[in-house]
Structure 1
Amino acid sequence: MTEDGIMELAKNEGFTNVAVIPADKLVFDRELRKYCEENVCGNYGKNYSCPPFCGTPEEMRDRAGKYGRAWIFQTIADVGSWDNRRKLVEVKADHNRRSRNLIQMLREEGVDGLPMLAGPCEACGTCKGFSGEACKYPEEAPSCISAYCMKAELMAEEAGIPYWCGEGVVAYFSLYLV
């Protein structure tokens, strides 16, 4: 599939911005892992796509380093206020649903790659990591950009798309490395 074809599929899926950059332009910073370890989102050690299950920062960087191009899919939405938790969750869930749909379409077209979503895998609703059971979908459990310790602001800058969008406006990112 051509880059124009991927761009068209992504735009049809409803993303605000779509960009592609060389994967070697992605910047990783081991120090970002501390945010996962602080467990602000509540998934550390409870979701197989999150640390420590997903791998060390070095393993994550090496996994991403096997690819040449980084497709970036972005959703920008006005949520009114950063305190509007319900709207934030709703917009992120919709972004990730569209990301999974797009990635499935690309795979069906023979475009294999490494997906990264805005937040941890939610394929099971409640991850089996909470109970210690084996992952039901180990090949379909994408980690988030944060788990990769990627500097999303630098990625957005390299791609020429916004990172900070103003008060009450959120920007969610997904990637597909090919």
Structure 2
Amino acid sequence: MISHEELEEFICQFPVYQYAFFKPEEIDFSFRVRWICEKECERYNSTWACPPAVGTVEECRKRCLDYKECFLFSTIAEVSDVINFEETLATRKEHEKITAAIEAFVREKGTDCMALSTESCDICEVCTYPDAPCRFPQKMHPCVESHGIIVCELAEKYNMEFTLSANQILWFGILFLK
């Protein structure tokens, strides 16, 4: 498995703000966040990266617990105002590129991993869900919350900031490492 030192050295090239290593067993999986997905998110039941396509919370929990360690990290994006949802969402692409780069590095080092990231996948303009398989399953990163993981609770648990200012947004990702 990749060492903490190798990963820490690699991420220095990116605007990674904070990070933490911990065991998957330390995550409290919650059906509450899935309820929010179902009732309030327009992406629910529309992509392979979101519920119900990712499986039940229990299935997601079991999948996550198959890994030995987690690497939670955050990146910062500057915006004119975090309330400007369109501008804020546009900054997510850079975080997704960083997540993909870290995931690729981990795999190159011979460590199997699963990456969860922000919002839902937007690699394809129109998702194939539910009519055909995902076109890019190795590039697609399901949303952290889709797996029943409440990011703000994890951030607090590992002394990471969840909010900064009205002009800075924090994006989070988790890599599960085998």
TM above 0.5:
yes
Report the Cα distance in structure 1 between the residues aligned to 2:21 and 2:28, rounded to whole angstroms.
Answer: 15
What's the offset of the Cα at 1:47? 0.4
Cα shift at 1:12: 1.4
Q: Partner of 1:72 in structure 2?
A: 72
Give the aligned residue type for 1:149. Answer: G
Identical pairs, percent: 21
| Aligned residues of 2:20 and 2:73 also touching (Cα < 8 A) | yes
| Structure 1 residues 135-154: aligned runs within 5 Å | 135-154=134-153
Q: Could you say which residue in structure 1 is the equivalent of 2:169?
A: 170
Residue in 2 aligned with 1:60? 60
**8 Å Cα contact 1:25/1:155 also seen in 2:** no
TM-score, length-scaled by structure 2: 0.89
Q: For 1:118 and 1:11, how far apart are their aligned partners in 2?
A: 21
Give the CA deviation at 1:22: 2.0
Equivalent position of 1:128 in the other structure? 128
Structure 1 stretches of at least 4 aligned residues deviating more than 6 Å after TM superposition: none
**CA–CA distance in structure 2, aligned partners of residues 75 and 139 of structure 1:** 22
Secondary structure of the structure 1 residue equivalent to 2:170: strand
Worse-superposed segment, 46-55 or 7-16: 7-16
What does the per-residue CA deviation read over 1:96-136, in whole Å, with 9 as the maximum and x for residues that have no partner? Answer: 11111111121111121111011222332331127x23212
Look up the equivalent residue of 1:56 and give its one-letter code: T
The gaps in structure 1 that reach 5 residues or longer are: none
Q: Is the 8 A contact 1:18 1:71 kept in 2?
A: yes
What amino acid is aligned across from residue 175 of structure 2 in structure 1?
Y
Tell me if structure 2 keeps the 8 A contact 1:10–1:102: yes
Corresponding letter in the other structure for 1:71:
F
SS of the residue aligned with 1:38? helix
The within-5 A match list for 1:93-104 is 93-104=93-104
Cα distance in 1, alignment partners of residues 168 and 99 from structure 2: 19
Tell me which residue corresponds to 1:20: 21
1:159 aligned partner: 158
Cα offset, 1:35, TM superposition: 1.2
How many correspondences in the alignment? 176
Query: For structure 1, which segment, 29-38 or 132-141, has the greater mean C-alpha deviation from structure 2 after superposition?
Result: 132-141
**Match of residue 50 from structure 1:** 50
- CA RMSD for the aligned pairs? 1.8
Please give the secondary structure, in 1, of the residue aligned with 2:91. helix
TM-score (ref. length: structure 1): 0.89
